[in-house]
Structure 1
Amino acid sequence: MEFAFLAVAAFLAGLIDAVAGGGGLVQIPALFSAFPGMPPATLLGTNKVASVAGTANAAIRYGRSVRIYWAATAPAVVAAFLFSMAGAWALTMIPAEPLRKALPFVLVTLLVYTVAKKDLGTEHAPSLSGTRERVAALLAGAAIGFYDGVFGPGTGSFLMIVFVRVFGYDFLHASASTKVVNMATNLAALLLLASKGHIWWQLGLVMAVANVAGSQVGSRLALRHGSGFVRKVFIVVVSALILKTAWDAFAR
């Protein structure tokens, strides 16, 4: 029963993540609910098995239909991979509580900004090039990669808003680049946790299949309905993330 429940959760997570990021909002709480006695590192490692499969599938789907701007995406991928691994290592060294309490307020700021800027992400007009573009991509990849390794919730949403606001992408192109970078952060954390033996492979592979199926549906919806649809789902996902992270930080 637990495996079936988590397969459904992974499907929904893959669908949500493929459109606007934030699949962990569904997948991680479901894992902790189904196996409350399991070591957290093992549950988080198992989550990464499903997540890396889903984000890789979404990245491939987007790559076939939407141009990925590698001048910004590739440096962000490299920095995100390295710093996500560093963040996963730092997880054992520093407390996550300050991040947990600050996250809802950061997400509220992101949501207010997105809603107030009604034209944000509706037009694709890349705004950086050359050295400035590469430096911005490296800094963004490093910061968000480290965050994903050490904590994680909302990584896809943060990547999305960076590609929209800093690089001038519309939400559809931003979503495509986000999936590639997020795949790198997931893979880095997965490799580190696997080396420590924190993977339940049987469950992770079941969830990976379900996550890929959800990712197929979500990426197809995003490609069919375009940036306006992705923007709306993004706002809904960030709103849900605010409620969930605030509950975890202050009410639980």
Structure 2
Amino acid sequence: MKLLLLCIVGFVAAFVDSIAGGGGLISVPAFMLYGLPTHMVLGTNKFSATTASLTSSIKYIKSGTTNKELLKYLSPMTFIGAVIGVNLVLKINQRYLYAMVLILVLFVGIYTLFSKTIGQEDNFNGLNRRNLLLGMILALFIGGYDGFFGPGTGSFLIFGLINIYGFNFLNAAGNARFLNFLSNIASLIVFAYKGMVDYKIAIPVALFMIIGARLGTKAALFKGSKFIKPIFVTMSILVALRMLYNFINI
């Protein structure tokens, strides 16, 4: 019964995550409540989340909402950043990191809430040296951030891609999901190597997450940017509130 409830929560987390990011806010506490050892929670969640992000990435790519030329440049930076990030996780004081990221996530959510035009229209005008460089820096840092910490990764990627390239929410979400998949798989390799994945739990949850990711992506593609924005703002603020709670209790 406990495993079935965890699978259902995983479905909801993947549905939300495939639209606007923030699924870890739902799934990680659920794995903790299930009773997994603390060191196994992140690795087991990462396994299930990686299958979900792969599923939604494939669907976004098939729909034509991703820019393959852009991803060719940003993908290696995301992967490298995540590998570096996982290996730095024990060397950084998380209290300082929480404070910094908390402020950034709140800024992203509030700015998006009060901006009537952000992400509503696709104003992408092509790639150039400047926006490619900015995108590669974004991919490296967010990949690294996801590797050693994670909360708000989807929000930062979507917000960054909108502001650098002029994407609407739908196109930003499509590109962000693929980049998020790469940072997930890089992190998962390290977690798996260190034996931090409980496959008996991760595999059934992953199956439910795949279904959730498929349905969430389909909803995003059908409803468009106006549907994504309120979910994006809600998840950004919820991530910030969750981080504030954790910060107070560190």
* TM-score range normalised by the length of the shorter chain: over 0.9
The residue aligned with 1:19 is: 19
Q: Which position in structure 2 is the counterpart of 1:89?
A: 87
Secondary structure of the equivalent of 1:85? helix
Within 5 Å, which residues of 2 pair with 1:37-116?
38=37, 40-116=38-114
Match of 1:231 in 2: 229
Segment drifting more, 179-188 vs 75-84: 75-84
What one-letter code is carried by the residue in structure 2 that aligns with 1:4? L
SS in 2 for 1:16: helix
Q: Name the aligned partner's letter for residue 121 of structure 1.
A: G
1:208 corresponds to which of 206, 209, 214:
206
User: What number of residue pairs does the alignment pair up?
Assistant: 250
Identical amino acids, percent of aligned pairs: 26
Matched to 1:211, the amino acid is M
TM-score after normalising by structure 2: 0.96
| 1:151 aligned residue | 149
CA-CA distance at 1:85 after TM superposition: 1.0
- Counterpart residue type for residue 80 of structure 2: L
Report the Cα offset of residue 128 of structure 1. 5.4
Moved over 6 A (4+): none
1:193 paired residue number: 191
Shift of 1:98: 1.2
- Amino acid in the other structure paired with 2:135: A
Mapped to 2, the partners of 1:18 and 1:30 lie a distance apart of 18
Indicate the residue corresponding to 2:34 in structure 1.
34
In structure 1, distance between residues paired with 2:225 and 2:236:
16
Report the 3-state secondary structure (helix = DSSP H, G, I; strand = E; otherwise coil) of the residue aligned with 2:116. coil
What corresponds to 2:2 in structure 1? Answer: 2
Q: Which moved more, 1:61-70 or 1:152-161?
A: 61-70
Residue in 2 aligned with 1:240?
238
1:104-162 Cα offsets, whole Å, 9 max, x none, are 22111112211222100011111452222321221011110110011101101110101
Q: What's the offset of the Cα at 1:251? A: 4.7
Structure 1 residue 34: deviation in Å? 1.4
Unpaired runs of 5+ residues, structure 1, are none
Which amino acid letter does the alignment assign opposite residue 6 of structure 1? L
Q: Deviation digits for residues 52-85 of structure 1, max 9, x if unmatched? A: 1001100111111133112322222211111101
The answer on whether the counterparts of 1:80 and 1:145 sit within 8 Å (CA) in structure 2 is yes
Report if aligned partners of 1:75, 1:141 keep a CA contact under 8 Å in 2.
Answer: no
Higher mean C-alpha displacement, 176-185 vs 64-73: 64-73
Partners of 1:208 and 1:244 lie apart in 2 by 24
Deviations 1:75-107 (A, max 9, x none): 222111111011001112222221123322211
Whether the 8 Å contact between 1:72 and 1:133 is mirrored in structure 2 is no
> In structure 1, what residue type is equivalent to 2:176?
T
CA distance in 1, matches of 2:195, 2:8: 25
Partner-residue secondary structure (3-state), 2:120: coil
Match of 2:167 among 166, 169, 182: 169
Question: Following the alignment from structure 1 to structure 2, what is the Cα–Cα distance between the partners of residues 100 and 3?
Answer: 30
**Cα contact 1:41–1:193 (8 A) shared by 2:** no
What is the SS of the residue equivalent to 2:66? Answer: coil
Q: Which runs of 5+ in 2 are unaligned?
A: none
Mapped partners of 1:140, 1:103: distance in 2: 15
Are the counterparts in 2 of residues 73 and 137 from structure 1 also a CA contact under 8 Å?
no
Q: Secondary structure at the match of 1:208?
A: helix
Alpha-carbon contact 2:65-2:170 (below 8 Å) kept: no
